[in-house]
Amino acid sequence: MKIDHELKRAALVQKFHPTNQPAGSSSVQTGGVDHLALICSDIEQTIEFYTNIVGMTLNKILPNRDEPSSTHIFLDMGGKNFLAFFDFPKKGPAKTVRGVGSMHHLAMKASSTQLARIIRTLEAKGISYDLNGTTTKGSVYFRDPDGILLEITTGY
């Protein structure tokens, strides 16, 4: 049986889009993102990449409450949002496999000036990237040392 994906998406919009909900129905129940917590293989390498390439600021370094050998870091990614990483030295450097429940990519907002700066940094460091748009408007995609796909976007 062939699925009509366009029809399926239209049905989702009809069922769930806020403009199709009754007046006074529930609103968002959170205040937004505090932090995203990811896993890295090398905490120092991760800090260097995200501070020197992406331009984030290291905010905190803490022990992981659940695993004494693990370190938990918080990087300020702007907009009052943080990107956190854990390392798990006892588990080794095995990478995750993309699948249901995993993250596809992390997209972060940038001004035109910030996007251009990141592209210049990627080029200077020899890091490969894919550009969708121009160096001042659009998105650049690249991977961190553990293969996490990152997008820096000005939006459209």
Domains of the chain: 32-90 (3.10.180.10), 103-156 (3.10.180.10)
Q: E strand or H helix at 80, and its extent?
A: none
Q: Is the pLDDT of residue 38 over 90?
A: yes
| Spatial CA neighbour of 89 closest among 42, 144, 50 | 42
> What pLDDT digit, counting tens, does each position of 119-131 carry?
999 999 999 999 9
pLDDT category at 143 given cuts 50, 70, 90 is very high
Q: What is the 3-state secondary structure (H, E, C) of 38-53?
A: EEECCHHHHHHHHHHC
Residue 101: its pLDDT value, please? 79
| Spatial CA neighbour of 35 closest among 69, 85, 1, 70 | 85
Model-level pTM?
Answer: 0.83
Checking DSSP bridges between strand 149-153 and strand 106-109, what pairing results, if any? parallel
